[in-house]
């Protein structure tokens, strides 16, 4: 059950603090303006040339739209922190600001941040089905489907049912060029950067290098704070929809208000488990666009925040209301 109210309170608190900080900065800027002209000039000179870190030369590609290239140099962001599941959360020392009670938009990557119409997942599955049949002489597409449902991950399927090592599996999968199905998404990048006071992270059943490459190819790598992925050589195969994966994310990110987490995924079972865990789950299907779904949630949060604000104003006793 979605708890928009909690998210609204968090958003309203951030908004109020933001206004106070902005006012303080403005007063400080005005009072010290006379002494800061030279410093500002020096800072401007040092800021020249700052740009987004871009993977794989995406920004230099001839196929890259000019408006996307322009967008890449608008605002400097750092790359996300990558964390692999299968570890002891207490031993992870990654440096980032914990989520706490903030509103968090948590995104799956495959068939969520990009639309399934590009056929990446379809062609990857076909590639793996063919490999499965070549390895397992008595295997069929039906046994592939059954064993995958038990394994949850392709890597687990090949490790447990085909009998190859994880090293051999990832070497085999490297033959499949998944990046050929993707292209920079200017609209997605622009939308993600437009979200203010909303924390953004990724939670994927892919390994780190795949997640990093896909986010970079889409042009949104630096739009996320943290990316949580499977461990490439983790033989516990910690992944969605296992409850331990949601527990891992909660502990590592320092989530204190599950109701303020909005999780977007293309898998129904992953969404069901997320809701059971107390998160808000949004199922992304072929009929959905991730920008539209995210925008709808943002609107609901903002409307509830405004409603909360007016309720607080209305609750002020008339004797304490300012007179005209």
Question: In the numeric block, which tokens belong to residue 282?
Answer: 């949004």
pLDDT category at 160 given cuts 50, 70, 90 is very high
pLDDT value at 317 more than 70: no
pLDDT value at 61 more than 70: no
User: Which residue ranges make up each domain of the chain?
Assistant: 70-114+183-302, 118-179
Question: In the numeric block, which tokens belong to residue 135?
Answer: 């390895």
> What is the pLDDT at residue 227?
98
> What is the pLDDT at residue 27?
40
pLDDT category at 309 given cuts 50, 70, 90 is low
Question: In the numeric block, which tokens belong to residue 177?
Answer: 């060029």
The mean pLDDT value for 210-239 works out to 97
Please count the other Cβ atoms lying within 10 Å of the Cβ belonging to residue 56.
12
pLDDT digits (tens, 9 = 90+) for 109-141: 999 999 999 999 999 999 999 999 999 999 999
Question: Which is higher by pLDDT, 55 or 158?
Answer: 158
What would the DSSP string read from start to end of 137-185?
TT--HHHHHHHHHHHSSHHHHIIIII---HHHHHHHHTTS-GGGG----
Task: Let me know: does 108 contact 267? Beta carbons within 8 Å.
Answer: yes
> What is the pLDDT at residue 6?
57
Helix, strand, coil content of the chain in percent (nearest 5): 55, 10, 35
**Of 12-26, 58-72, 173-187, highest mean pLDDT:** 173-187
> What is the pLDDT at residue 118?
96
> What is the pLDDT at residue 315?
58
pLDDT value at 25 more than 70: no
pLDDT value at 179 more than 80: yes
The mean pLDDT value for 190-211 works out to 95
pLDDT value at 184 more than 70: yes
> What is the pLDDT at residue 38?
39
Q: Mean pLDDT lowest for which of 64-73, 198-207, 253-262, 277-286? A: 64-73
Can you tell me whether residue 216 is helix, strand or coil?
helix
> What is the pLDDT at residue 305?
76
pLDDT category at 313 given cuts 50, 70, 90 is low
Whole-number mean pLDDT of the chain? 81
pLDDT digits (tens, 9 = 90+) for 68-104: 444 444 443 578 999 999 999 999 998 899 999 999 9
CATH number of 70-114+183-302: 3.40.50.1000
Pairwise CA distance, residues 168 & 62, whole Å: 35
> What is the pLDDT at residue 9?
52
pLDDT category at 10 given cuts 50, 70, 90 is low
Pairwise CA distance, residues 291 & 122, whole Å: 22
Q: What angle do CA 169, 172, 176 make, to 5 degrees?
A: 125
pLDDT value at 21 more than 50: no
């Amino acid at each position: 059950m979605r708890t928009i109210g909690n998210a609204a309170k968090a958003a309203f608190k951030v908004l109020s603090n933001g206004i106070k900080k902005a006012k303080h900065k403005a007063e400080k800027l005005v009072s010290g303006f006379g002494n800061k002209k030279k410093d500002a000039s020096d800072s401007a000179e040092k800021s020249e040339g700052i740009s987004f870190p871009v993977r794989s030369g995406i920004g230099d590609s001839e196929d890259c739209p000019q408006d996307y290239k322009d967008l890449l140099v608008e605002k400097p962001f750092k790359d996300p922190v990558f964390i692999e599941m299968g570890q002891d959360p207490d031993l992870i020392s990654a440096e980032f600001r914990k989520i706490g009670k903030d509103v968090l938009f948590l995104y799956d990557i495959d068939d969520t941040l990009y639309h399934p119409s590009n056929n990446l997942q379809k062609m990857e599955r076909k590639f793996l089905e063919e490999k499965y049949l070549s390895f397992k002489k008595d295997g069929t597409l039906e046994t592939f489907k059954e064993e995958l449902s038990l394994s949850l991950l392709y890597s687990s399927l090949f490790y447990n049912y085909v009998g190859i090592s994880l090293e051999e599996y990832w070497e085999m999968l490297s033959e499949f060029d998944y990046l050929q199905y993707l292209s920079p998404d200017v609209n997605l990048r622009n939308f993600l950067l437009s979200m203010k006071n909303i924390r953004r992270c990724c939670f994927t059943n892919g390994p780190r290098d795949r997640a990093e490459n896909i986010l970079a190819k889409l042009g949104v790598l630096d739009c996320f704070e943290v990316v949580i992925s499977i461990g490439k050589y983790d033989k516990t195969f910690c992944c969605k929809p296992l409850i331990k994966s949601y527990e891992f994310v909660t502990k590592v990110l320092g989530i204190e208000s599950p109701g303020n987490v909005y999780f977007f995924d293309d898998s129904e079972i992953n969404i069901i488990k997320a809701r059971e865990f107390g998160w808000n789950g949004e199922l992304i299907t072929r009929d959905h666009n991730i920008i539209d779904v995210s925008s709808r949630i943002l609107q609901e949060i903002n409307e509830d925040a405004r409603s909360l604000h007016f309720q607080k104003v209305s609750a002020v006793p008339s004797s304490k209301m300012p007179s005209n």
